Amino acid sequence: MKKTVEHIDVKGMKVLVRCDLNVPIKDGKITDETRITASLPTIQYLIDHDAKIIIMSHLGRPEGKADMAYTLKPVADRLSELLGKEVVFISSPTVVDDRVREAADKLEPGQVMLLENVRFRPEETKNTFDFSSELASLGQIFVNDAFGTAHRAHCSTAGVAGYLPTVSGFLIDKEIRYLGEALERPLRPFVAIMGGAKVGDKIKVIENLLNKVDTLIIGGGMSYTFFKALGYEIGQSILDADHVELAGSLIEKAREKGVQLLLPEDVVCAKEFDNDSEKAVFAKDSIPEDMMGMDIGPASVKLFSEAIAAAKTVVWNGPMGVFEMPNFAEGTKKVAEALAECEGTTIIGGGDSAAAVTQFGLADKMSHISTGGGASLEFLEGKVLPGVAAINNLEHTDENVELYKHIYDSRNKN
201 sits near ligand AMP (criterion: CB under 6 A): yes
Which residue, among 386, 376, 387, 393, has the nearest Cα to 208 in the 3D structure? 376
Question: Of the two residues 113 and 268, which places its CB atom closer to ligand AMP in the complex?
Answer: 268
Ramachandran region of residue 196, left (φ > 0), alpha (ψ -120 to 50) or beta? left
CB of 376 to ligand AMP, least distance (A): 12
Whether 29 is a known active-site residue: answer no
Strands 112-114 and 87-89, bridge-based pairing:
parallel
Contacts of 364 (CB under 8 A, 6+ apart): none
Active-site choice (198, 279, 365, 411): 198
Instruction: Compute the distance between CA of residue 250 and CA of residue 213 in angstroms, rounded to an integer.
Output: 13
Determine phi and psi for 30, rounding to 5 degrees: -75, 125
CB of 196 to ligand AMP, least distance (A): 2
301 sits near ligand AMP (criterion: CB under 6 A): no
Question: Of the two residues 50 and 201, which places its CB atom closer to ligand AMP in the complex?
Answer: 201
CB of 319 to ligand AMP, least distance (A): 5
Instruction: Compute the distance between CA of residue 43 and CA of residue 405 in angstroms, rounded to an integer.
Output: 21
Contacts of 184 (CB under 8 A, 6+ apart): none
238 sits near ligand AMP (criterion: CB under 6 A): yes
221 sits near ligand AMP (criterion: CB under 6 A): yes
- Give the Cβ contact number of residue 322 at 10 Å: 25
Question: Of the two residues 135 and 357, which places its CB atom closer to ligand AMP in the complex?
Answer: 357
H-state helical runs in 211-317: 223-229, 244-257, 298-310
Whether 351 is a known active-site residue: answer yes
Which residue, among 289, 357, 368, has the nearest Cα to 323 in the 3D structure? 357
Considering only residues 308 through 337, tell me which ones interact with ligand AMP, judged by CB under 6 A. Answer: 318-319, 321-322, 324
Question: Of the two residues 321 and 372, which places its CB atom closer to ligand AMP in the complex?
Answer: 321
CB of 274 to ligand AMP, least distance (A): 12
Give how far Cα 287 sits from Cα of 283, 284, 291, 294, Å.
7, 7, 7, 11
Instruction: Compute the distance between CA of residue 13 and CA of residue 22 in angstroms, rounded to an integer.
Output: 26
196, 297, 344, 386: which one binds ligand AMP (CB under 6 A): 196
Instruction: Compute the distance between CA of residue 148 and CA of residue 372 in angstroms, rounded to an integer.
Output: 4
Give the interface segment with ligand AMP, choosing from 38-46, 63-71, 109-117, 192-200 (CB under 6 A). 192-200
Give the interface segment with ligand AMP, choosing from 34-42, 69-77, 191-199, 357-365 (CB under 6 A). 191-199
Whether 35 is a known active-site residue: answer yes
Active-site choice (351, 372, 373, 387): 351
173, 175, 214, 352: which one binds ligand AMP (CB under 6 A): 352
281 sits near ligand AMP (criterion: CB under 6 A): no
293 sits near ligand AMP (criterion: CB under 6 A): yes
113 sits near ligand AMP (criterion: CB under 6 A): no
Give how far Cα 267 sits from Cα of 222, 235, 264, 304, Å.
13, 12, 7, 13
Q: Which residue is nearest to ligand AMP (CB)?
A: 196
Question: Of the two residues 171 and 238, which places its CB atom closer to ligand AMP in the complex?
Answer: 238
Active-site choice (2, 3, 14, 35): 35
User: Is residue 318 a contact partner of residue 202, using CB atoms and an 8 Å limit?
Assistant: yes
264 sits near ligand AMP (criterion: CB under 6 A): no
Binding-site ranges for ligand AMP (CB under 6 A): 196-198, 201, 220-221, 238, 293-294, 318-319, 321-322, 324, 351-352
**Active-site residues: which are they?**
35, 198, 351, 374
